Structure 1
């Protein structure tokens, strides 16, 4: 009878050790999976979140905070739909985001495995979107990362890593007579770009 109890105890102990080892392996696999999750993947999940809770808060590299919802994600940028007081879509390079204030439920949901994204969205870069703004002659407000300086005008050209901005008053069409100057702006210097109120992002 004692031997039966001994073997039953031994079997229980081995089962417990096996469960503990399996849990440790599952935890390590989860850590490995999370190590491969990029910020853009999590922002992509946040684009489909329920908007019944408070808006997300994006702390930007210029020191400002944008209360907005994610409306699109590209290879190296995010499109934001501000809740207030800004009018117009916002385009931000991922490098312009310092942190995102997110409800805990969305933190957990965005860390779960996500479905494969389309390869097209993976190829749409910040420069590609800016070239579309050039084509459509959309007026913009550009907020620079250092010092939070704000420039308004129209993007004339977009290169590989910078764009040409013709400076003029916000909300006005680009007319040669109204242009007050020109700037070459590196992509890396941009914190975020606001489109004129009536202009769609793409």
Structure 2
């Protein structure tokens, strides 16, 4: 009887120590695994969810539609989609706790520059929201409109013209170079 009690006591101590070892091992492993999670992996499960996105320019709200390696798209109520540069985002509210697997090789190729080059190829009139601008001030360059002519390594060239007019030599007012680091969001003109 005494031996049984001793063995039962030793067994319960062993189980407690084993559980403590497992618990002590799980937490650091979970932290280490989470350290490799990218922002895009947290955003993908939130597709279809309304978000509030603070940026270096305007605060944007809308339903998350798509996620790329360095961009996302939001559909605002009653408006068209906005392409938002991840590098211009300061915080995102409304995302759950789920995580998706990392993007595949093909998905990683759909960079912001590639999407902008597609807009340039299609000659789509766009409105660009820029970093550091105060959208509350009318005279501030919070937004510039026109057609993207070319996309370089770290900038785009925009032919400025009224967004309701197609890009024609007579309607172009000038050319603006926009560093991609200053680009917050792109909205395709409803006339495009």
TM-score, normalising length from structure 1? 0.84
Cα distance in 1 for partners of 2:27, 2:46 equals: 24
* Unmatched segments (≥5 aa) in structure 2: 135-141
SS at match of 1:177: coil
Cα distance in 2 for partners of 1:24, 1:115 equals: 26
Asked if 1 retains the 8 angstrom alpha-carbon contact of 2:159 and 2:174, the reply is yes
Q: What is the Cα deviation at residue 57 of structure 1?
A: 0.8
Partner residue, 1:97: 89
Q: What is the Cα deviation at residue 67 of structure 1?
A: 1.2
Q: Does 1:22 align with 2:22?
A: yes
Partner residue, 1:140: 126
The number of residues matched between the two structures is 185
1:59 to 47, 54, 78: 54
Cα distance in 2 for partners of 1:32, 1:95 equals: 24
* Unmatched segments (≥5 aa) in structure 1: none
Change (3 A) 1:198 1:173: closer
Cα distance in 1 for partners of 2:66, 2:114 equals: 14
Q: What is the Cα deviation at residue 43 of structure 1?
A: 1.4
Asked if 1 retains the 8 angstrom alpha-carbon contact of 2:147 and 2:167, the reply is yes
Q: What is the Cα deviation at residue 116 of structure 1?
A: 5.2
CA RMSD of aligned residues (A): 1.7
Q: Does 1:79 align with 2:73?
A: yes
Partner residue, 2:80: 88
Partner residue, 1:107: 96
SS at match of 2:96: helix
Runs of 4+ residues deviating >4 angstroms: none
